[in-house]
Structure 1
Amino acid sequence: MLQNSFQEQLEDCPVIAAARDREGLARCCQSESGIVFILFGDVCTISEIVDHVKSAGKLAFVHMDLVNGLSSREISVDYIRKETNADGIISTKQPQIRRGKELGLYTVHRFFVIDSAAYENVEKCTKAIRPDCVELMPGVMPKVIRQMAETLSVPVIAGGLISDKEDIIAALDAGAASISTTKEELWFL
Protein backbone atom coordinates (compact mmCIF):
# COMPACT_ATOMS: atom_id res chain seq x y z
CA MET A 1 0.00 0.00 0.00
CA LEU A 2 2.83 2.42 0.82
CA GLN A 3 4.50 1.79 -2.53
CA ASN A 4 1.25 2.45 -4.42
CA SER A 5 0.78 5.66 -2.50
CA PHE A 6 4.33 6.80 -3.28
CA GLN A 7 4.04 5.79 -6.94
CA GLU A 8 0.72 7.63 -7.21
CA GLN A 9 2.26 10.75 -5.67
CA LEU A 10 5.18 10.64 -8.13
CA GLU A 11 2.76 10.39 -11.04
CA ASP A 12 0.39 13.09 -9.77
CA CYS A 13 3.00 15.70 -8.86
CA PRO A 14 6.56 14.86 -9.93
CA VAL A 15 8.18 17.66 -7.91
CA ILE A 16 9.15 16.58 -4.41
CA ALA A 17 9.36 19.41 -1.88
CA ALA A 18 12.46 19.19 0.32
CA ALA A 19 12.95 21.12 3.56
CA ARG A 20 16.25 22.17 5.13
CA ASP A 21 14.74 24.10 8.05
CA ARG A 22 11.46 24.93 9.85
CA GLU A 23 10.51 27.75 7.49
CA GLY A 24 11.04 25.51 4.50
CA LEU A 25 9.05 22.77 6.20
CA ALA A 26 6.05 25.07 6.67
CA ARG A 27 6.16 25.99 3.00
CA CYS A 28 6.61 22.35 1.93
CA CYS A 29 3.45 21.46 3.80
CA GLN A 30 1.58 24.11 1.78
CA SER A 31 3.00 22.95 -1.56
CA GLU A 32 1.23 20.83 -4.14
CA SER A 33 3.71 18.01 -3.60
CA GLY A 34 2.36 14.98 -1.79
CA ILE A 35 5.87 14.03 -0.68
CA VAL A 36 8.25 15.91 1.61
CA PHE A 37 11.94 15.09 1.97
CA ILE A 38 13.05 16.15 5.47
CA LEU A 39 16.69 17.28 5.29
CA PHE A 40 17.15 18.56 8.84
CA GLY A 41 16.35 17.92 12.49
CA ASP A 42 17.80 16.05 15.40
CA VAL A 43 16.87 13.06 17.53
CA CYS A 44 14.85 15.28 19.86
CA THR A 45 12.77 16.98 17.14
CA ILE A 46 12.48 14.52 14.25
CA SER A 47 9.26 12.91 15.48
CA GLU A 48 7.57 16.32 15.75
CA ILE A 49 8.86 17.30 12.29
CA VAL A 50 7.49 14.10 10.75
CA ASP A 51 4.15 14.61 12.52
CA HIS A 52 3.94 18.12 11.06
CA VAL A 53 4.38 16.69 7.54
CA LYS A 54 1.90 13.88 8.19
CA SER A 55 -0.71 16.31 9.58
CA ALA A 56 -0.52 18.15 6.24
CA GLY A 57 -1.53 14.89 4.53
CA LYS A 58 1.85 14.28 2.94
CA LEU A 59 4.28 11.37 2.85
CA ALA A 60 7.31 12.03 5.07
CA PHE A 61 10.80 10.83 4.11
CA VAL A 62 13.61 11.36 6.63
CA HIS A 63 17.13 11.85 5.28
CA MET A 64 19.03 9.69 7.74
CA ASP A 65 22.40 11.26 6.96
CA LEU A 66 21.18 14.77 7.85
CA VAL A 67 19.45 14.22 11.20
CA ASN A 68 21.78 15.30 14.03
CA GLY A 69 22.39 12.68 16.66
CA LEU A 70 21.74 9.65 14.45
CA SER A 71 24.64 7.37 13.69
CA SER A 72 25.31 5.76 10.34
CA ARG A 73 24.42 2.40 11.84
CA GLU A 74 21.27 0.39 11.19
CA ILE A 75 19.93 1.02 14.70
CA SER A 76 19.20 4.60 13.64
CA VAL A 77 16.69 3.27 11.12
CA ASP A 78 15.07 1.24 13.90
CA TYR A 79 14.80 4.47 15.89
CA ILE A 80 13.08 6.31 13.00
CA ARG A 81 10.68 3.39 12.52
CA LYS A 82 9.84 3.09 16.22
CA GLU A 83 9.78 6.76 17.25
CA THR A 84 8.28 8.50 14.20
CA ASN A 85 5.50 8.03 11.68
CA ALA A 86 7.86 8.41 8.73
CA ASP A 87 6.83 6.71 5.52
CA GLY A 88 10.36 6.30 4.27
CA ILE A 89 14.02 7.10 4.56
CA ILE A 90 16.70 8.57 2.34
CA SER A 91 20.35 7.66 2.75
CA THR A 92 23.65 7.28 0.94
CA LYS A 93 24.46 4.31 3.17
CA GLN A 94 23.69 0.79 1.99
CA PRO A 95 23.17 -0.75 5.44
CA GLN A 96 20.56 1.88 6.31
CA ILE A 97 18.68 1.30 3.06
CA ARG A 98 18.77 -2.45 3.63
CA ARG A 99 17.47 -2.04 7.18
CA GLY A 100 14.74 0.36 6.07
CA LYS A 101 13.46 -2.24 3.62
CA GLU A 102 13.52 -4.91 6.34
CA LEU A 103 11.41 -2.64 8.55
CA GLY A 104 8.87 -1.91 5.81
CA LEU A 105 9.90 1.69 5.17
CA TYR A 106 10.04 3.08 1.67
CA THR A 107 13.71 3.58 0.73
CA VAL A 108 15.40 6.18 -1.45
CA HIS A 109 19.09 5.44 -2.01
CA ARG A 110 20.86 8.71 -2.78
CA PHE A 111 23.93 8.67 -5.02
CA PHE A 112 26.34 11.46 -5.90
CA VAL A 113 27.40 10.68 -9.46
CA ILE A 114 30.71 12.49 -9.74
CA ASP A 115 32.70 10.16 -12.00
CA SER A 116 32.52 6.86 -13.87
CA ALA A 117 33.31 4.81 -10.75
CA ALA A 118 30.36 6.39 -8.93
CA TYR A 119 28.18 5.79 -11.99
CA GLU A 120 29.05 2.08 -12.01
CA ASN A 121 28.43 1.89 -8.28
CA VAL A 122 24.79 3.00 -8.72
CA GLU A 123 23.89 -0.05 -10.78
CA LYS A 124 25.87 -2.44 -8.58
CA CYS A 125 24.34 -1.16 -5.34
CA THR A 126 20.84 -0.98 -6.74
CA LYS A 127 20.98 -4.63 -7.81
CA ALA A 128 22.40 -5.70 -4.43
CA ILE A 129 20.28 -3.59 -2.08
CA ARG A 130 17.12 -3.12 -4.18
CA PRO A 131 15.98 0.24 -2.89
CA ASP A 132 12.50 1.33 -3.86
CA CYS A 133 13.93 4.34 -5.64
CA VAL A 134 17.28 5.98 -6.34
CA GLU A 135 18.06 9.68 -6.24
CA LEU A 136 20.83 10.85 -8.55
CA MET A 137 22.73 13.99 -7.70
CA PRO A 138 23.31 16.42 -9.24
CA GLY A 139 19.99 16.33 -11.05
CA VAL A 140 21.12 18.46 -14.00
CA MET A 141 22.71 15.71 -16.06
CA PRO A 142 20.07 14.43 -18.48
CA LYS A 143 22.39 12.01 -20.31
CA VAL A 144 23.28 10.21 -17.07
CA ILE A 145 19.65 10.26 -15.89
CA ARG A 146 18.54 8.71 -19.20
CA GLN A 147 21.16 5.96 -19.00
CA MET A 148 20.31 5.17 -15.37
CA ALA A 149 16.55 5.22 -15.99
CA GLU A 150 17.02 2.73 -18.81
CA THR A 151 19.40 0.52 -16.80
CA LEU A 152 17.81 0.43 -13.35
CA SER A 153 14.65 -1.46 -12.45
CA VAL A 154 13.56 1.20 -9.92
CA PRO A 155 12.34 4.79 -10.39
CA VAL A 156 14.95 7.53 -10.60
CA ILE A 157 14.64 10.86 -8.79
CA ALA A 158 16.87 13.73 -9.94
CA GLY A 159 18.03 16.07 -7.16
CA GLY A 160 20.56 18.79 -6.57
CA LEU A 161 21.24 21.94 -8.58
CA ILE A 162 17.71 21.96 -10.04
CA SER A 163 17.22 25.70 -10.54
CA ASP A 164 14.35 26.25 -12.95
CA LYS A 165 11.49 24.77 -14.95
CA GLU A 166 13.85 23.85 -17.80
CA ASP A 167 15.93 21.69 -15.44
CA ILE A 168 12.77 19.91 -14.30
CA ILE A 169 11.58 19.30 -17.84
CA ALA A 170 15.02 18.07 -18.94
CA ALA A 171 15.25 15.61 -16.03
CA LEU A 172 11.70 14.31 -16.56
CA ASP A 173 12.23 14.05 -20.34
CA ALA A 174 15.42 12.06 -19.65
CA GLY A 175 13.40 9.49 -17.70
CA ALA A 176 13.42 10.69 -14.10
CA ALA A 177 10.19 9.76 -12.34
CA SER A 178 10.48 12.88 -10.22
CA ILE A 179 12.80 15.62 -9.07
CA SER A 180 13.51 16.82 -5.53
CA THR A 181 14.28 20.41 -4.72
CA THR A 182 14.44 22.88 -1.87
CA LYS A 183 13.60 25.75 -4.27
CA GLU A 184 10.13 26.81 -3.17
CA GLU A 185 9.21 28.49 -6.45
CA LEU A 186 9.56 25.16 -8.24
CA TRP A 187 7.07 23.36 -5.97
CA PHE A 188 4.16 25.26 -7.47
CA LEU A 189 4.75 24.76 -11.21
Structure 2
Amino acid sequence: MTQHGIVKLLCNGNVIPAPRNYEDFKYALEHSACPSVILLFGDINILPELLAQAREHKKRVLVHLDLLGGVGKDKAGIVFLARMGVAAVITTKPQLGKLARDAGMLVIHRLFLMDSEAIKTGANLLKGYKPDALELLPASIPASVITELANMTGLPILGGGLMHTQEDIAVAVRNGLMAVSASKRELW
Protein backbone atom coordinates (compact mmCIF):
# COMPACT_ATOMS: atom_id res chain seq x y z
CA MET A 1 0.00 0.00 0.00
CA THR A 2 1.25 3.49 -0.80
CA GLN A 3 1.95 6.18 1.78
CA HIS A 4 -1.11 8.11 0.66
CA GLY A 5 -3.20 4.90 0.77
CA ILE A 6 -2.31 4.34 4.41
CA VAL A 7 -3.10 7.93 5.29
CA LYS A 8 -6.48 7.68 3.49
CA LEU A 9 -7.30 4.64 5.65
CA LEU A 10 -6.66 6.78 8.70
CA CYS A 11 -8.22 10.09 7.72
CA ASN A 12 -9.95 11.88 4.87
CA GLY A 13 -8.28 15.20 5.57
CA ASN A 14 -5.40 16.21 7.78
CA VAL A 15 -6.76 15.37 11.26
CA ILE A 16 -7.39 12.08 13.04
CA PRO A 17 -9.56 12.49 16.16
CA ALA A 18 -7.79 11.28 19.30
CA PRO A 19 -10.33 11.40 22.15
CA ARG A 20 -9.11 11.18 25.75
CA ASN A 21 -12.49 10.26 27.27
CA TYR A 22 -15.79 8.55 26.47
CA GLU A 23 -17.74 11.76 25.78
CA ASP A 24 -15.18 12.92 23.21
CA PHE A 25 -15.15 9.41 21.68
CA LYS A 26 -18.91 9.55 21.13
CA TYR A 27 -18.57 13.06 19.71
CA ALA A 28 -15.86 11.89 17.27
CA LEU A 29 -18.05 9.01 16.11
CA GLU A 30 -21.09 11.20 15.57
CA HIS A 31 -19.54 14.43 14.28
CA SER A 32 -16.27 13.61 12.55
CA ALA A 33 -16.16 12.50 8.93
CA CYS A 34 -12.80 10.86 9.61
CA PRO A 35 -12.86 7.06 9.04
CA SER A 36 -10.64 6.40 12.09
CA VAL A 37 -10.50 7.31 15.76
CA ILE A 38 -7.45 6.96 18.00
CA LEU A 39 -8.26 5.80 21.54
CA LEU A 40 -6.17 7.59 24.14
CA PHE A 41 -8.15 6.12 27.05
CA GLY A 42 -9.90 2.99 28.20
CA ASP A 43 -9.30 -0.58 29.22
CA ILE A 44 -10.32 -4.05 28.13
CA ASN A 45 -13.57 -3.81 30.09
CA ILE A 46 -15.00 -1.03 27.91
CA LEU A 47 -13.12 -1.81 24.69
CA PRO A 48 -15.78 -4.21 23.31
CA GLU A 49 -18.44 -1.51 23.70
CA LEU A 50 -16.23 1.12 22.06
CA LEU A 51 -15.46 -1.17 19.14
CA ALA A 52 -19.16 -1.96 18.66
CA GLN A 53 -20.04 1.74 18.64
CA ALA A 54 -17.27 2.44 16.15
CA ARG A 55 -18.54 -0.33 13.85
CA GLU A 56 -22.05 1.19 14.00
CA HIS A 57 -20.55 4.45 12.72
CA LYS A 58 -18.30 2.64 10.20
CA LYS A 59 -15.16 3.87 11.95
CA ARG A 60 -11.82 2.16 12.41
CA VAL A 61 -10.37 2.12 15.95
CA LEU A 62 -6.67 2.67 16.55
CA VAL A 63 -5.51 1.82 20.06
CA HIS A 64 -2.58 3.48 21.75
CA LEU A 65 -1.11 0.44 23.51
CA ASP A 66 0.59 2.43 26.26
CA LEU A 67 -2.73 3.99 27.27
CA LEU A 68 -5.01 0.93 27.17
CA GLY A 69 -5.35 -0.74 30.54
CA GLY A 70 -5.72 -4.43 31.27
CA VAL A 71 -4.20 -5.92 28.16
CA GLY A 72 -0.87 -7.67 28.34
CA LYS A 73 1.92 -6.00 26.45
CA ASP A 74 2.84 -9.34 24.89
CA LYS A 75 1.85 -11.63 22.00
CA ALA A 76 -1.32 -12.88 23.71
CA GLY A 77 -2.48 -9.32 24.40
CA ILE A 78 -1.83 -8.21 20.82
CA VAL A 79 -3.62 -11.24 19.35
CA PHE A 80 -6.53 -10.56 21.72
CA LEU A 81 -6.85 -6.99 20.41
CA ALA A 82 -6.69 -8.16 16.79
CA ARG A 83 -9.43 -10.75 17.41
CA MET A 84 -11.59 -8.07 19.04
CA GLY A 85 -11.41 -6.02 15.86
CA VAL A 86 -8.80 -3.37 16.66
CA ALA A 87 -7.67 -2.12 13.24
CA ALA A 88 -4.38 -0.54 14.23
CA VAL A 89 -2.11 0.15 17.16
CA ILE A 90 0.13 3.00 18.12
CA THR A 91 3.20 2.07 20.11
CA THR A 92 6.62 3.29 21.12
CA LYS A 93 7.88 -0.29 21.38
CA PRO A 94 9.18 -2.06 18.25
CA GLN A 95 8.61 -5.55 19.72
CA LEU A 96 4.89 -4.78 20.15
CA GLY A 97 4.74 -3.30 16.66
CA LYS A 98 6.19 -6.50 15.20
CA LEU A 99 3.63 -8.60 17.07
CA ALA A 100 0.80 -6.35 15.85
CA ARG A 101 2.00 -6.62 12.24
CA ASP A 102 2.09 -10.42 12.60
CA ALA A 103 -1.50 -10.26 13.90
CA GLY A 104 -2.61 -8.34 10.79
CA MET A 105 -3.00 -4.87 12.30
CA LEU A 106 -1.68 -1.59 10.97
CA VAL A 107 1.13 -0.22 13.11
CA ILE A 108 1.98 3.39 13.80
CA HIS A 109 5.26 3.83 15.62
CA ARG A 110 5.22 6.85 17.93
CA LEU A 111 8.50 8.69 18.32
CA PHE A 112 9.12 11.52 20.78
CA LEU A 113 11.60 14.05 19.38
CA MET A 114 13.33 16.27 21.88
CA ASP A 115 16.72 16.68 20.25
CA SER A 116 18.93 15.49 17.38
CA GLU A 117 19.94 12.36 19.26
CA ALA A 118 16.27 11.28 19.38
CA ILE A 119 16.24 11.21 15.57
CA LYS A 120 19.16 8.76 15.50
CA THR A 121 17.71 6.67 18.31
CA GLY A 122 14.34 6.54 16.55
CA ALA A 123 15.89 5.49 13.25
CA ASN A 124 17.81 2.72 15.05
CA LEU A 125 14.60 1.48 16.69
CA LEU A 126 13.09 0.99 13.26
CA LYS A 127 15.89 -1.26 11.96
CA GLY A 128 14.47 -4.70 11.30
CA TYR A 129 10.94 -3.44 11.90
CA LYS A 130 8.81 -1.60 9.38
CA PRO A 131 5.68 0.02 10.79
CA ASP A 132 3.03 1.37 8.42
CA ALA A 133 3.59 4.95 9.54
CA LEU A 134 5.64 7.03 11.94
CA GLU A 135 4.00 9.51 14.31
CA LEU A 136 6.26 12.27 15.58
CA LEU A 137 5.64 14.15 18.79
CA PRO A 138 5.28 17.02 19.03
CA ALA A 139 3.67 17.75 15.67
CA SER A 140 5.24 21.21 15.68
CA ILE A 141 8.58 19.86 14.41
CA PRO A 142 10.66 21.73 11.84
CA ALA A 143 10.23 20.77 8.18
CA SER A 144 13.89 19.74 7.93
CA VAL A 145 13.44 17.06 10.61
CA ILE A 146 10.30 15.70 8.97
CA THR A 147 12.08 15.52 5.61
CA GLU A 148 15.09 13.82 7.19
CA LEU A 149 12.95 11.14 8.86
CA ALA A 150 10.83 10.61 5.75
CA ASN A 151 14.00 10.07 3.72
CA MET A 152 15.57 7.81 6.36
CA THR A 153 12.52 5.60 6.85
CA GLY A 154 10.46 5.79 3.64
CA LEU A 155 7.37 5.92 5.86
CA PRO A 156 4.39 8.28 5.87
CA ILE A 157 5.04 10.78 8.64
CA LEU A 158 2.20 11.78 10.95
CA GLY A 159 2.33 14.09 13.94
CA GLY A 160 0.65 14.46 17.28
CA GLY A 161 0.73 16.73 20.26
CA LEU A 162 0.57 20.48 20.76
CA MET A 163 -2.06 21.07 18.09
CA HIS A 164 -4.31 23.81 19.45
CA THR A 165 -5.58 25.65 16.37
CA GLN A 166 -6.35 25.09 12.70
CA GLU A 167 -3.29 27.22 11.95
CA ASP A 168 -1.12 24.82 14.01
CA ILE A 169 -2.39 21.98 11.82
CA ALA A 170 -1.84 23.96 8.61
CA VAL A 171 1.77 24.71 9.61
CA ALA A 172 2.40 21.05 10.52
CA VAL A 173 1.08 19.90 7.13
CA ARG A 174 3.07 22.59 5.29
CA ASN A 175 6.15 21.32 7.13
CA GLY A 176 5.60 17.87 5.63
CA LEU A 177 3.36 15.90 7.97
CA MET A 178 0.75 13.91 6.06
CA ALA A 179 -1.78 14.22 8.92
CA VAL A 180 -1.95 14.95 12.64
CA SER A 181 -3.80 13.45 15.54
CA ALA A 182 -5.61 15.92 17.76
CA SER A 183 -7.50 15.65 21.03
CA LYS A 184 -9.43 18.92 20.76
CA ARG A 185 -12.97 18.48 19.39
CA GLU A 186 -12.91 21.80 17.56
CA LEU A 187 -10.06 20.50 15.38
CA TRP A 188 -11.93 17.40 14.17
Give yes or no for TM over 0.5: yes
Alignment of 1:48 with 2:25, yes or no, is: no
1:173 equivalent in structure 2: 174
Of the structure 1 ranges 23-32 and 140-149, higher mean CA displacement relative to structure 2 is found in 140-149
In the superposition, the TM-score normalised over structure 1's length comes to 0.89
The aligned length equals 185
Matched position secondary structure for 1:79: helix
1:132 equivalent in structure 2: 132
One-letter amino acid of the structure 2 residue matched with residue 32 of structure 1: A
2:16 equivalent in structure 1: 16
Q: Which has the higher contact order (CA 8 A, sep 6+)?
A: 2
Alignment of 1:98 with 2:102, yes or no, is: no
Matches within 5 A, 1:1-189: 6-10=6-10, 12-29=12-29, 30-82=31-83, 84-143=84-143, 144-187=145-188
Check whether the contact 1:81–1:105 (CA below 8 A) recurs between aligned residues. yes
In the superposition, the TM-score normalised over structure 2's length comes to 0.90
| Deviation sequence 1:113-153 (CA, Å, 0-9, x none) | 12222211222223421000111001111332233233321
Aligned CA-pair RMSD: 1.9
CA apart distance, 1:104: 0.8
CA apart distance, 1:10: 4.9
The alpha-carbon distance between structure 1 residues 169 and 155, as it changes in their structure 2 partners (threshold 3 A), is same
Matched position secondary structure for 2:16: strand
Of the structure 1 ranges 68-77 and 159-168, higher mean CA displacement relative to structure 2 is found in 68-77
The alpha-carbon distance between structure 1 residues 173 and 32, as it changes in their structure 2 partners (threshold 3 A), is same
Of the structure 1 ranges 48-57 and 88-97, higher mean CA displacement relative to structure 2 is found in 48-57
Of the structure 1 ranges 172-181 and 120-129, higher mean CA displacement relative to structure 2 is found in 120-129
For residues 120 and 56 of structure 1, the distance between their equivalents in structure 2, rounded to whole angstroms, comes to 40
Matched position secondary structure for 1:36: strand
The alpha-carbon distance between structure 1 residues 11 and 53, as it changes in their structure 2 partners (threshold 3 A), is closer
For residues 4 and 101 of structure 1, the distance between their equivalents in structure 2, rounded to whole angstroms, comes to 19
**% identity of equivalent residues:** 30
Check whether the contact 2:6–2:132 (CA below 8 A) recurs between aligned residues. no
One-letter amino acid of the structure 2 residue matched with residue 140 of structure 1: S
CA apart distance, 1:71: 3.0
For residues 60 and 132 of structure 1, the distance between their equivalents in structure 2, rounded to whole angstroms, comes to 15
